[in-house]
């Protein structure tokens, strides 16, 4: 199987900050052990909320290497992104001094930007919500940087010393897939040779929990937080809010080979569509996600029979898991029944815009190590979700190509395909 | 990118302080009729900001269902109205376009700011149970794209880009990518409405806002006494199509998207030049256009002296001192963030269509040290084949868009 | 506004449904259409969830998650609320 495009995109570095452990290896460790990082919320007093569970990162910014000025000015989401960027760059072995800044790009995704910083400042300036015309003298000097999510891309661009295209992609829960898709596209079209592509979200703040409470999207299984995220399980009752980030170093293939880089995987295909149906609702047939999958397969010149593992969106809501099961069947036919499918949200929760990049990191690692992460908490079969979801235990599995999908508020549906280096001519 | 195969702009929708609708906006631009006025969205009391570009008489209820208005922010209301107007102007019924070939890409800067401030107020005054069912879909940055795609049945590869004021130009770069990749029609652009108190206070923290009180001169980019920019609300949505598809249906083409480039300023600690000049050069190279062929530049025109000086230096470096007419009609509207550079593209396309360079209201002459031929005093008729639009976004984003004449340039009114 | 015990009416329902304004383009709920599904009348899933939240905020009526599927129409919602009110205060006056 060969791709005809003249410029191809490979992943040469991975950085992750996820619940359960800061760093790529801690993340992989959690996934392969099938451990969950969901617990009662500690980041704020959640006692008045319907869902009081989250997947939180035990994050010490100083221990993670951030300076005091960086900690002061950066919202938590920016801190995650920068720590990931540093890990990814180090992992890739890229020497920033050798890069042409004008051909170094950054594509970062985020669904809700600097929510924590925005809310914290609001609380102060509005005097606990009492003033509509908020105080204009007490705000932090970088308040505007919280208001615009583009700040998250700025911080990574400074880290990478990028002077090429820098973009903040914000397509809700597919942001983390769409940002990497855009990064790969920049390489393919010749606008960049190296891209730091990823996503970050730190949404664990009262306003976020409250907005998902209002639409009953999150699991209220507060007495069993550790097992509350149950994608594909017959008793699933919503997603568990999470936080985190992942950044990948994307490089043009020939450049990566020329410097002898270790290549995790190649981004061989990407496709996105919208369901144009409802901002939060999903039709059970999954047709637009199926179309996104077909577009990605076409771009990769792959058949359904080439897909060896599906990393699902698997948020754990009743409608999502049913929707994407249908999408897999529609797009892949019988192959959907033959391959392992799993959702790591069962372990690291749903970090909104960030999770797409975190899942791509998991896919790249899965390809590199030939191990499929499990779906944790999966005990009760649901007739509407009747595929092999790799319950509870990670599985060694021969894989050449992996499909990663996402679905998000606004109707966004995205699919991306990764292939192991050496499996593509 | 050859002239004939460049994607074409076939529809415009404008919701701006200069007016709602293309005709009203363009008339205001030609007459230098400012949309900047004392801030009315709330009483700014002791805020240093007194003025803003506000959209006059905006009644979305005339064209948008009430239940859709209820679940969206004012910025999305403007986006919905502008997108519908653009599709109508293009003569496109979305039902006639294959569903997966129709997409929308918007620029967002700060999301549904006012909606979000209301919801946080309810949260803190009353408790978590008082946050409404629409907060999860109204404030986030993808709201406008999502709602437009639903309203018009657009199932193609839609997206959202956030690069503050520069994002709008990048939606056209993205539209071009999508049209090369199988899409037939893309609605590109953006709108913004952040003139609520929390939004204004955040903007004030940049220290870049003009605190002047005379609407006609508060925002005077490139002037010797430039004192910052006035913020505004609104924006524009444009329909961009593959040239063959537009020709097949006999569409009127306002202009063409010839080239685009995006760059980023080096981190402040590095001793390297800003990215604007090289970004302009890359956009021109992408378009296959020499600097001498550019008939006008629609400047970013931030109105902050250091930023003006940097932009002027880039213009001199690329085009030569005083070598190309430069203008900033945005002094009539203020800086519109997520809607800003999209409105600039609409105005630039109208300039190509009408063969006239609009002037920069609010100042008599630029600081001569900038070495720019700023068009002041009144519109300047010109034979325009190519114009360039520039935008810079907070933090270092830099974008340039190269536009060419359409097929049916009009005579001057 | 307070609810009479065991006498939550269709008018009460539409008052709550419209209390955030903006629903002028959806059909008004009347005796004639009250047995049609909410979404057919122009009230999507989010509108129904918001309605349920309003009931809780303003009237202290809690409709649990499991019961949401039991109120697909305005009529069934009215019935459900009345059953809850009776359970809450079977013998009380206003």
Structure tokens at A47: 């006692």
**B411 Cα to chain C: minimum distance (Å):** 43
pLDDT score of C15: 84
Nearest to C49 among A215, A278, A279 (CB): A215
What band does B412 get if pLDDT is binned at 50, 70 and 90? Answer: very low
Residue of A nearest to C52 (CA): A214
**C46 Cα to chain A: minimum distance (Å):** 7
**Is the Cβ pair C44, A281 closer than 8 Å?**
yes
DSSP letter string, A380-393? S-BTTB-S---BSS
Calpha distance A10→A6 (Å, rounded): 13
**B337 Cα to chain C: minimum distance (Å):** 28
**Is the Cβ pair B127, A48 closer than 8 Å?**
yes
pLDDT score of C14: 83
Question: Are the beta carbons of B110 and B199 closer than 8 angstroms?
Answer: yes
Tell me: pLDDT of C24 over 70: no
pLDDT score of B413: 38
**B13 Cα to chain A: minimum distance (Å):** 21
What residues of chain B lie within 8 A of the CB of A122, using their CB?
A: 117, 120, 124, 198
**Is the Cβ pair C46, A280 closer than 8 Å?**
yes
What residues of chain A lie within 8 A of the CB of C46, using their CB?
A: 215, 279-280
Q: What angle do CA B129, B130, B135 make, to 5 degrees?
A: 105
Q: pLDDT digits over A129-141, tens only? A: 999 999 999 999 9
What band does B29 get if pLDDT is binned at 50, 70 and 90? Answer: very high
Separation of first and last alpha carbons in chain A: 6
**Is the Cβ pair B70, C56 closer than 8 Å?**
no
Q: Where are the alpha helices (DSSP H) in B127-269?
A: 135-138, 143-151, 167-180, 197-204, 243-248
Q: pLDDT digits over B145-163, tens only? A: 999 999 999 999 999 999 9
Residue of C nearest to A215 (CA): C49
C62 CB within 8 Å of a chain B CB: no
Please confirm, yes or no, whether A173 is among the known catalytic residues. Answer: yes
Q: pLDDT digits over B43-82, tens only? A: 988 899 999 999 999 999 999 988 899 999 999 999 999 9
CATH 3.40.47.10 fits B258-405, yes or no: yes
Q: Per-residue pLDDT averaged across B317-334, rounded?
A: 98
Which domains are present in chain A? 9-114+149-420 (3.40.47.10)
What residues of chain A lie within 8 A of the CB of C44, using their CB?
A: 278, 281
B residues 127-166 near C, CB within 8 Å? Answer: 129-130, 132-134, 137
**Is the Cβ pair B201, A125 closer than 8 Å?**
yes
Structure tokens at B33: 């009729």
Q: pLDDT digits over A228-273, tens only? A: 999 999 999 999 999 999 999 999 999 999 999 999 999 999 999 9
DSSP letter string, A145-184? HHH-THHHHHHHHHHHT--S-EEEE--GGGHHHHHHHHHH
Calpha distance A40→B238 (Å, rounded): 47
Task: State the average pLDDT for chain B.
Answer: 96
What residues of chain A lie within 8 A of the CB of B266, using their CB?
A: 101, 161, 163
**Is the Cβ pair C49, A281 closer than 8 Å?**
no
Give the neighbours of chain B: at least 3 Cβ pairs within 8 Å.
A, C
**DSSP letter at B389?**
E
Burial A191-224 (b: 16+ CB within 10 A, else e): bbbbbbbbbbbbbbbbbbbbbbbbbbbbbbbeee
In sequence order, which residues have a C-beta less than 8 Å from that of residue B333 and are 6 or more positions away? B16, B17, B18, B35, B36, B53, B232, B234, B343
pLDDT score of B399: 98
What residues of chain A lie within 8 A of the CB of B48, using their CB?
A: 136
Residue of B nearest to A130 (CA): B125
**A401 Cα to chain C: minimum distance (Å):** 38
Nearest to A163 among B99, B147, B264 (CB): B264
Catalytic residue among A173, A227, A323, A363: A173
Ordered by start, the domain boundaries in chain B are 8-248, 258-405
Calpha distance A317→B43 (Å, rounded): 44
**pLDDT-above-90 percentage for chain B:** 94
Interface test with C, best of A219, A237, A281 (most C CBs within 10 A): A281
In sequence order, which residues have a C-beta less than 8 Å from that of residue A13 and are 6 or more positions away? A87, A88, A89, A90, A91, A92, A93, A94, A248, A249
**A215 Cα to chain C: minimum distance (Å):** 6
Please confirm, yes or no, whether A313 is among the known catalytic residues. Answer: yes
What band does C78 get if pLDDT is binned at 50, 70 and 90? Answer: very high
Positions in chain A whose pLDDT score sits under 70: 1-4, 424-425
Main-chain dihedrals φ then ψ at residue C78, nearest 5 degrees = -60, -45
Calpha distance B94→B48 (Å, rounded): 45
Per DSSP, the three-state class of B363 is: coil
Question: Are the beta carbons of B99 and A276 closer than 8 angstroms?
Answer: yes
Structure tokens at B131: 């946050």
**Is the Cβ pair A126, B124 closer than 8 Å?**
yes
Please confirm, yes or no, whether A142 is among the known catalytic residues. Answer: no
Fold of C10-88: 1.10.1200
Tell me: pLDDT of C28 over 80: no
Tell me: pLDDT of B4 over 60: yes
What residues of chain A lie within 8 A of the CB of C53, using their CB?
A: 214
Q: Structure pTM?
A: 0.97
A383 CB within 8 Å of a chain B CB: no
| Element holding B30 (H helix, E strand) | helix B22-31
**C43 Cα to chain B: minimum distance (Å):** 8
pLDDT score of C35: 92
Q: Is the dihedral of CA B145, B122, B68, B80 positive or negative?
A: negative
B residues 305-364 near A, CB within 8 Å? Answer: none
**Is the Cβ pair B66, C25 closer than 8 Å?**
yes
Calpha distance A406→B121 (Å, rounded): 32
In sequence order, which residues have a C-beta less than 8 Å from that of residue B399 and are 6 or more positions away? B163, B166, B169, B170, B173, B260, B261, B262, B263, B279, B341, B390, B391, B392, B393
C45 CB within 8 Å of a chain A CB: yes
pLDDT score of B358: 98
**Is the Cβ pair A278, C44 closer than 8 Å?**
yes
Tell me: pLDDT of B206 over 60: yes
Interface test with C, best of A215, A283, A284 (most C CBs within 10 A): A215
pLDDT score of A425: 52
pLDDT score of C31: 83
DSSP letter string, A282-316? --TT-HHHHHHHHHHHHHHT--GGG--EEE-----
Catalytic residue among A313, A323, A363, A385: A313
Question: Are the beta carbons of B289 and B258 closer than 8 angstroms?
Answer: yes
Question: Are the beta carbons of C74 and C48 closer than 8 angstroms?
Answer: no
What residues of chain C lie within 8 A of the CB of A281, using their CB?
A: 44-45
Nearest to A136 among B47, B111, B206 (CB): B47
Instruction: Give, in words, the CATH class of B8-248.
Output: alpha beta
């Amino acid at each position: 199987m060969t791709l005809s495009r003249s410029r191809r995109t490979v992943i040469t570095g991975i950085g992750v900050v996820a619940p359960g452990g800061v760093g790529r290896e801690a993340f992989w460790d959690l996934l392969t052990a099938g451990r969950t990082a969901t617990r009662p919320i500690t980041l704020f007093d959640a006692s008045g909320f319907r869902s009081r569970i989250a997947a939180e990162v035990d994050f010490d910014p100083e221990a993670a290497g951030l300076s005091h000025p960086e900690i002061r000015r950066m919202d938590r989401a920016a801190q995650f992104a920068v720590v990931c960027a540093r890990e990814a760059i180090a992992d890739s072995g890229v020497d920033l001094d050798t890069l042409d800044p004008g051909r170094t790009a950054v594509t970062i995704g985020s669904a809700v930007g600097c929510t924590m910083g925005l809310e914290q400042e609001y609380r102060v300036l509005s005097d606990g919500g009492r003033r509509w015309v908020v105080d204009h003298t007490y705000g932090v000097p970088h308040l505007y940087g919280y208001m615009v999510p583009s700040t998250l891309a700025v911080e990574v661009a400074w880290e990478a010393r990028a002077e090429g295209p820098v973009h903040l992609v914000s397509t809700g829960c597919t942001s983390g897939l769409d940002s990497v898709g855009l990064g790969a596209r920049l390489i393919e079209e010749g606008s960049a040779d190296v891209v730091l592509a990823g996503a970050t979200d730190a949404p664990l703040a009262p306003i976020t929990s409250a907005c998902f409470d209002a639409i009953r999207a999150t699991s209220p299984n507060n007495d069993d937080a550790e097992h509350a995220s149950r994608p594909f399980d017959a008793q699933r009752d919503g997603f568990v809010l999470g936080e985190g980030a992942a950044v990948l170093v994307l490089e043009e293939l020939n450049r990566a080979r020329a410097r002898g880089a270790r290549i995790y995987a190649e981004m061989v295909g990407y496709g996105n569509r919208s369901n144009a149906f409802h901002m939060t609702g999903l039709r059970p047939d999954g047709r637009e996600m199926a179309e996104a999958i077909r577009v990605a397969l076409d771009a990769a010149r792959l058949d359904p029979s080439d897909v060896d593992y599906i990393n699902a969106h698997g948020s754990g809501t009743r409608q999502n898991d049913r929707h994407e099961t249908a999408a897999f069947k529609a797009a892949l036919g019988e192959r959907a029944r033959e391959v392992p499918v799993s959702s790591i949200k069962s372990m690291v929760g749903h970090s909104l815009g960030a999770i797409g990049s975190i899942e791509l990191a998991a896919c790249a690692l899965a390809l590199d190590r030939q191990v499929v992460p499990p779906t944790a908490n999966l005990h009760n079969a649901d007739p509407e979700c009747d595929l092999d979801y790799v319950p509870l235990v990670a599985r060694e599995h021969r894989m050449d190509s992996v499909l990663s999908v996402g679905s998000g508020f606004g109707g966004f549906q995205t699919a991306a395909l990764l292939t192991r280096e050496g499996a593509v001519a | 990118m050859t002239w004939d195969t460049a994607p074409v702009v076939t529809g415009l929708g404008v919701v701006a302080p200069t007016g709602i609708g293309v005709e009203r906006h363009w008339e205001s631009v030609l007459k230098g009729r400012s949309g900047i006025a004392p801030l009315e969205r709330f009483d700014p009391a002791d805020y240093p900001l007194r003025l803003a570009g506000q959209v006059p008489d905006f009644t979305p209820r005339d064209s948008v269902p009430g239940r859709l208005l209820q679940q969206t922010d004012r910025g999305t209301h403007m986006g919905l109205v502008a997108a519908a107007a653009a599709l109508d102007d293009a003569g496109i019924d979305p039902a006639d376009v294959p569903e997966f070939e129709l997409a929308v890409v918007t620029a967002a800067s700060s999301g549904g700011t006012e909606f979000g401030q209301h919801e946080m107020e309810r949260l803190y005054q009353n408790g978590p149970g008082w946050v409404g069912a629409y907060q999860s879909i109204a404030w986030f940055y993808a709201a406008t794209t999502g709602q437009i795609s639903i309203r018009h049945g657009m199932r193609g590869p839609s997206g959202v880009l956030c690069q503050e004021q520069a994002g709008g130009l990048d939606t056209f770069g993205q539209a071009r990518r999508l049209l090369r990749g199988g899409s037939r029609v893309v609605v590109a652009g953006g709108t913004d409405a952040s003139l609520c108190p929390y939004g204004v206070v955040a903007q004030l923290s940049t220290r870049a806002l003009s605190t002047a009180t005379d609407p006609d001169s508060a925002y005077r980019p490139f002037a010797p006494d430039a004192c910052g920019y006035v913020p505004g609300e609104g924006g524009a949505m444009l329909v961009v199509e593959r040239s063959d598809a537009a020709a097949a249906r006999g569409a009127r083409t306002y202009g063409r998207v010839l080239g685009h480039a995006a760059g980023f300023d080096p981190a402040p600690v590095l001793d390297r030049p800003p990215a604007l000049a090289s970004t302009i050069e890359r956009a021109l190279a992408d378009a296959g256009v020499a600097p001498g062929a550019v008939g006008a530049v629609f400047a970013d025109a931030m109105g902050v002296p250091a930023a003006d000086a940097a932009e002027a230096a880039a213009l001199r470096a690329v085009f030569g001192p005083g070598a190309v007419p430069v203008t900033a009609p945005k002094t009539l509207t203020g800086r519109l963030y997520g809607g800003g550079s999209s409105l600039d593209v609409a105005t630039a396309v109208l300039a190509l269509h009408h063969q006239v360079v609009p002037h920069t209201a609010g100042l008599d002459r630029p600081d001569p040290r900038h070495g720019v031929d700023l068009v002041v005093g009144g519109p300047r008729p010109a034979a325009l084949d190519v114009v360039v639009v520039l935008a810079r976004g907070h933090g270092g984003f830099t974008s340039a868009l190269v536009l060419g004449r359409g097929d049916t340039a009009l005579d001057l009114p | 506004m307070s609810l009479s015990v065991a006498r939550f009416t269709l008018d009460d329902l539409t008052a709550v449904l419209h209390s955030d304004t903006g629903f002028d383009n959806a059909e008004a709920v009347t005796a004639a259409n009250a047995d049609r599904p909410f979404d057919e009348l122009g009230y999507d899933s989010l509108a129904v969830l918001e309605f349920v939240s309003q009931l809780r905020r303003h009237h202290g009526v809690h409709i649990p998650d499991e019961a949401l599927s039991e109120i697909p129409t305005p009529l069934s919602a009215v019935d459900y609320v009345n059953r809850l009110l009776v359970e809450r205060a079977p013998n009380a006056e206003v």
